[in-house]
Structures are given as C-alpha cells and as structure tokens.
Amino acid sequence: MDVIVFILVIGIAYIIVSKWIKLEKRLKRAINRKAEELYTKHRQSKERRLEEMSQSDKRTKL
C-alpha cells in the first residue's frame, strides 16, 4: 500500500515539475521575443533620429 502511494506521489510530482518547466520555457521565449521587439523599435527610432539630424545638417549647410 505504501509503495502505491509513493509511486503516485512521485508521478504527480513529475507531472507538476514537467508542466512547470514547459511554462518556464514558454515564458522565457515570450520575454525574449518582447525584448527583441523593443530593441528593434528602439534601434529603428534611433536610426530615424540620426537620419533626421543628418538631413537637417545638410539643409543648414546649404
């Protein structure tokens, strides 16, 4: 009887841990994806600002 309970507890613990690991991996992927989106937006806006500055420099030199 004790062996059956022990096996059930181990099985339930295994299921919980595997679900937790899957969730953690999914969250890491989502965070990385969001971070990459934010970085891309930041880089694009930075490039746009630099381009606008260079355009305004060209206009002032003319």
The pLDDT score that the predictor gives to residue 57 is: 72
The pLDDT score that the predictor gives to residue 9 is: 98
- Would residue 23 count as lying in a domain? no
The pLDDT score that the predictor gives to residue 50 is: 87
pTM comes to: 0.59
Q: What residues in the chain have per-residue pLDDT under 70?
A: 58-59, 61-62
- Would residue 57 count as lying in a domain? yes
Angle 35-25-15 from CA coordinates, rounded to 5°: 160
CA dist 8 and 20 (Å) reads 18
Instruction: Report DSSP state, residue 62.
Output: -
- Would residue 40 count as lying in a domain? yes
- Would residue 8 count as lying in a domain? no
Give strand ranges (E) for the chain.
none
